[in-house]
Amino acid sequence: MKRLVKSFGYAFAGLWTAIKTERNLKIHLAVAVLVVILGLYLGLSALHWCLVVFAIGFVLVSELFNTSVERLSDEIGNGKQSSSIKAVKDISAAAVLFSALTALVIGIFVLVIPLIQRLIV
């Protein structure tokens, strides 16, 4: 049980480090808060909440992995960026981009369209 508690402690320490140091993660978290507020305002169904929570989690996990890849790449490269390290970092950033685009599409269907319908009626 002690090891499990320690594992959670390490995970929360990593999350806190990323929140303190990563601008993009702060942006994603701020957008997530706005999305939750909009979801509460719209009174989303359980299924729509599942989609929203999945989308938020997908983006945050992608951003955390991207941060890890960037830091590890920078450490391995000793401050120099070879073409291989650049490719790894670019591919990792592309993963975040695709997760954010996926979340955007979900947001359009689950949040934006219902919001427009509510405002028009």
Q: Is the pLDDT of residue 116 over 90?
A: yes
What CA–CA distance (Å, rounded) separates 54 from 37?
16
Mean pLDDT of 29-47: 98
How many residues in total does the chain contain? 121
**39-72: per-residue pLDDT in tens?**
999 999 999 999 999 999 999 999 999 999 999 9
Q: Which CATH class is domain 2-120?
A: mainly alpha
Q: Is the pLDDT of residue 119 over 80?
A: yes
Q: Is the pLDDT of residue 121 over 90?
A: no
* Contacts of 38 by beta carbon, 8 Å cutoff, 6+ apart: 111, 115
pTM score of the predicted model: 0.91
Distance in angstroms between the alpha carbons of the first and the last residue of the chain: 54
CA 103 to chain centre: 9
**7-24: per-residue pLDDT in tens?**
999 999 999 999 999 999
Mean pLDDT of 87-104: 97
Q: How sure is the predictor about 77, in pLDDT bands with cuts at 50, 70 and 90?
A: confident
What CA–CA distance (Å, rounded) separates 54 from 47?
11
